[in-house]
Amino acid sequence: NVYPGINETLEAVALDTDNNQLFKVPISELVGKLPTQTGIKYLVLDGIITQRLLDGAKQASIEYVIGHRIANLSNREGITLKTFTELGVI
């Protein structure tokens, strides 16, 4: 239910374990915001999951990252990555 609200906005939404929205930011600000956040379970973004984003998500103890595409990443362990297509959203 987050996808329609962020599709084509270049924004990211962080959700807690109860799917409550913690914040919504432009993707350009996302990596800088992650180290100061806690309690994020899901990170949903209108963009590509990059290594830099993955590293920031791991640092913030995020369990799931969902985006349009997944870049060629090293060390994906400890976090679940999904695309909207894999989830059947688009």
pLDDT of 1 above 90: no
Task: Identify the pLDDT of residue 61.
Answer: 96
16 in Cβ contact with 38 (< 8 Å) = no
Please give the model's pTM, rounded to 2 decimal places. 0.95
Task: Identify the pLDDT of residue 76.
Answer: 87
Q: What is the pLDDT of residues 32-84, one digit of tens each?
A: 999 999 999 999 999 999 999 999 999 999 999 999 999 999 888 999 999 99
Give the 3-state secondary structure percentages of the chain, helix then strand then coil, rounded to 5: 25, 30, 45
